[in-house]
Structure formats: structure tokens, C-alpha cells
Structure 1
Amino acid sequence: MNVSRSKRAPASGLAASLARVATLQSRADLRREAPAGWLRCSDLLDDPAGFDRWRKELDGWLRPRFGEAPERTTASYVMSWYLHVPAYLGALLMHHERRVPTLRPAELAFSLGDDRPHPEGMALGGDDFYCLPSDPGCDLPGATAVADEHALAAALRTRYIAHAAQFIRVYSAVGPFGKRTLWAAATDALDNSLWWAGKQGGDEGAGVADAALVLANRYAPLTSASTLETHEGADGHREWTRRRESCCFSYLLPGEAECEACPRIRRRR
């Protein structure tokens, strides 16, 4: 069992949960309140021109390094980076706290790194969350207790899909990708985030188990069940990997090849 879940969480709300999980990961600066200048998800969804500005910033970062920045590459990076925000916050709290935030766009924000324009900081506002009946905070005003872990996994899927659907509706109108590609990227973001939550927290197997719980099957419009599987590494040991559903289009950059888990390679086999 993951050490962070071996004891019941104290009777406190979502803010305390976020503070606890922040110490168990290193991928983002997690905040309760978004400082001035951070991008609120709801603002981006209300003003899709923000995605164009983000892609131009990424274009300016890629060109000095590669000589060009293909449209599909910049669009893919921004697509995956955005979806990573609700997926990662939801996965961390599900894995470590057995709590699921509502992931409303108005309650999520992020900052872009100074060196590379990816989500370097993330903020989660709001007080509402889903939890198990055994959670000592289940009587808090913002808590909704669900029957069991399967119901909690369903809550994460539902809340994440609701946020992803808003993004996909907006981004499909301003980017070069169809909805199948966008939902494939949404599937990757959630599966990856659950895996990372366990790996960073010291129990990779528990993260894999959570991915299998949340993505036990293909839940449309997501494009697959969890694709995590083991394979034999160069040293002969078995290790976890996953098959991507979406393409990052990094291979379009000069000198770059397709990723080992690229779905383009899988389709050719």
C-alpha cells in the first residue's frame, strides 16, 4: 500500500489535501491561490486567442533550438500541456488522498515556465470534492461521499471528461486536430498522471493500480483503457511503460525521430 494512503487523512478540506500532495511530487509548483499573471483555465476557454498566444510563445522557444516549429508540433504540445493540468491535479488527489476535486475550469489555473512555456505551476481553488465514507472530512460542507473506490474512480473520470470536453470543443475550432486526436491526448494525460502520481510518491505499482481502476475499460469519449504494461528493459529487468494514444509530433522537428511509444510506429507494425 502507498505509504501516503496507509493512514486516514486528517479531517480537513481540499486546501490541506493540496498542501500534503505538494510535498509528494516534483512536477509542478502547486498553489491554492493563483498569483497575478497565471492563466486561468476558464479564461483560456472563454478567449481561445489565448491558445494562439501560447503557441506563438512556444514557436519562439522552439525555433532557436531546431530552426523551425511546425504547426502540428506546437499545437500538440499546447494540447497535451493544457490537458495535463486537470489530469495531474485530479490524479494526485485521487492517488494520495482518495479525494477528487471538481476540476471546474474556473477553479484551475497555471503558470508557464520562464525557460520553457509549459505549465510550471498549478493552482486549485474551490472547496468541493468527492471522497469515501471513511474519509474523516466527509461531513465537511464541500464534501460528497461516494459508495466505494469504484465510485470515486468514476467521479474522477466524470469530472475530468467534463473539463476535457470544454477544452476539446474550443481547441478543435482553433487547432489543426480533430476530436479523435484530442480525446486520445486527453486519455494519455489521465493515464500518465495516475502512473506518475504513484511513481513520484514512491509506489509505482500503486499508481499503475489506480490507472487500472480509473481506466479499467474504454470509457467513451476517452479512446482506450489504461495502456500501462511491463516490458523487459536493457538490463533484463521488467519495467512499466505505456502505449501512447496520441502523437506529440516531435518527429517533425529537424533531427528528431518518432518516440518509442509513438502510435504511428504501432500502426505500421
Structure 2
Amino acid sequence: MTQAGTDADRDLALSLVSSRLGWMDVLPAWHGSPLPWSCVDVVDAQDRGEDPTAPWRRALAETTARQYRQDPPPAMPAAFVLLWYLDVLANPVAFAAALGPWVLDPSPGNVRFDLQTDQHYPEAASFATGDLLLVADPAQRQDLARQRYLAHAGRFVDGYRPGVKMSSRQRHGAVEDTWEIASRRAAEACLPPPPPEPQRRQSCCFIFTLPGASTCAMCPRLSPPAGR
């Protein structure tokens, strides 16, 4: 059974998501002042050929340069901002679908976010009610949640112009990787064990380019495990 959700349904879902997600507050859109980053402004600007995330990448690059005493290659902040934007969408949607009957509406006009002051990752997101759905069947709910995430994520990555060459595998791999990771986190936090096994990533964050850093355990640059 599927039915439309209300503001009260949205508020309950987001409260539970925030309590389980931990590192990012997920708020109703009416809560306090609007968060400074508007997803619809970002994707609309990209559709016009603009680069609205340039200040975000620049701030991250400057912070990274101070921490490592070396300018990062442009691919590193470009990859992190790509993945972090997708995190804003994937994690609330995946956690809500794991916790209960809620399929959030992550369309661009429904989502805003704010960045942590020092490290510049998303520390808060807000969702309007929009076309919130209550879906009883878990498999149907997961499928619809993923479809809704993909619609916004695909539009963002198609218009993302970070000033460095970025392959379609990196772009669309990031979309799939972010959903897979968010879904696994949600299962670990909210569902009975066992959680899904981690999968080798398709996209790279380029953290290995910084002094003293190494590739992530699931980095696509590593050789596949034996037997796979």
C-alpha cells in the first residue's frame, strides 16, 4: 500500500534519521532559518553553464593545503564535493526507507544544506514535505527511494563542471557508490544483521594524492580481490 505523507510524517522520519545518522543533522524545512545552500539553485545554475560549487571546492582546497602544507591536485576537491553533494541526498533517503515506511522527496526544490565551517563537509540538510510517500512494502520502498535519489543525483552530475577532466565512470560511478554506501550504512544502523557486504567502489576520491595518505580499502585503483 502507498499513500501520501503529511508534514507530521516528514517530521517524525527526519527526527529518527538524525538520531541514527549521527554526523549530519536532517531537519524539516521550517526549522529555523533556511540553510544557505539550495539544491535547486545549484542545479539550475549548472544547467545555465555556471559553476556554483566553485567556492565550496576552493574552500576545501585551501583548508587541505593548510593541513598538508601542499596544494592538493584539483581532482581531489572536485571528487570530494561531488561525493559530498550526493551524500546530502542519499543518506537521508536511504535511512528513512530503512527506518520505516517513508520515501522522502529529494527533488532539488525540496532540499537545502549547510557545510561544516572548518572541513566543509555537509553537516546539516533540510527537507520539505514535497511528495512524501508512505510505502508499506520494503522492497518497493527501497526501489522507489533509489529512483528518487537517482533523478536528482543524475541531474547534478550531468551538469557538474569542476574545472578538471572527470570521466563518465567517475561521475556516474559516484552516484552508484554513494547510494550503495548510504544503503549499507542504513542497514547497519537500522535493520537486523547481516548488513550487505561492502562493494568495490567505481569512483575515486583522490585522497591518495595527499602526503602520507593512501588509497581507501574499496578504492577502484586497487587490484580486485582473489577469485573475483
Q: TM-score, normalising length from structure 1?
A: 0.72
For the pair 1:112 / 2:110, whether they are aligned, the reply is no
Q: How does 1:26-41 map to 2 (within 5 A)?
A: 26-33=22-29, 35-41=33-39
The equivalent position to 1:25 in structure 2, one of 21, 46, 49, is 21
Query: 1:259 aligns to what?
Result: 216
Which residue identity lines up with residue 266 of structure 1 in the other structure? S
* Change over 3 Å in CA distance of 1:242–1:268 after alignment to 2: closer
The Cα of 1:154 is off from its aligned counterpart by 2.0
Q: Deviations over 1:54-109 (max 9, x none)?
A: 10011111001121111110100001000011101110110002211121011111
Quote the Cα distance in structure 2 between the aligned partners of 1:175 and 1:62: 18
For the pair 1:164 / 2:171, whether they are aligned, the reply is no
Structure 2 residue ranges without an equivalent (≥5): 1-6
* Change over 3 Å in CA distance of 1:88–1:256 after alignment to 2: same
Q: In terms of Rg, which structure is larger? A: 1
Which residue identity lines up with residue 262 of structure 1 in the other structure? C
For the pair 1:64 / 2:62, whether they are aligned, the reply is no
The Cα of 1:266 is off from its aligned counterpart by 2.6
The Cα of 1:123 is off from its aligned counterpart by 0.7
Quote the Cα distance in structure 2 between the aligned partners of 1:27 and 1:152: 24
| Higher relative contact order structure (alpha carbons within 8 Å, sequence separation ≥ 6) | 2
Quote the Cα distance in structure 2 between the aligned partners of 1:174 and 1:153: 34
Query: 2:80 aligns to what?
Result: 77
Give the secondary-structure state (helix, strand or coil) at the position aligned to 2:83.
Answer: helix
The equivalent position to 2:104 in structure 1, one of 92, 101, 104, is 101
Quote the Cα distance in structure 2 between the aligned partners of 1:103 and 1:64: 34
Which residue identity lines up with residue 54 of structure 1 in the other structure? W
The equivalent position to 1:15 in structure 2, one of 7, 11, 24, is 11
The equivalent position to 2:184 in structure 1, one of 191, 195, 210, is 195
Which residue identity lines up with residue 147 of structure 2 in the other structure? T
For the pair 1:205 / 2:193, whether they are aligned, the reply is yes
Quote the Cα distance in structure 1 between the aligned partners of 2:132 and 2:35: 26
The Cα of 1:150 is off from its aligned counterpart by 2.7
Contact 2:169-2:203 at 8 Å conserved across structures: no
Q: Deviations over 1:110-151 (max 9, x none)?
A: 110012101011111124223235xxxxxxxxxxxxxx3332
Query: 2:57 aligns to what?
Result: 55
Query: 1:121 aligns to what?
Result: 124
Quote the Cα distance in structure 2 between the aligned partners of 1:93 and 1:129: 11
Q: TM-score, normalising length from structure 2?
A: 0.84
State the number of aligned residues. 214
Give the secondary-structure state (helix, strand or coil) at the position aligned to 1:263.
Answer: coil
Note the aligned Cα RMSD (angstroms). 2.4
Contact 2:14-2:28 at 8 Å conserved across structures: yes
Give the secondary-structure state (helix, strand or coil) at the position aligned to 2:126.
Answer: strand
Contact 1:95-1:197 at 8 Å conserved across structures: yes
Structure 1 residue ranges without an equivalent (≥5): 1-10, 134-147, 209-227, 230-240
Deviating above 6 A after TM superposition, structure 1's stretches of 4 or more consecutive aligned residues are: none
* Change over 3 Å in CA distance of 1:25–1:260 after alignment to 2: closer
Which residue identity lines up with residue 200 of structure 2 in the other structure? R
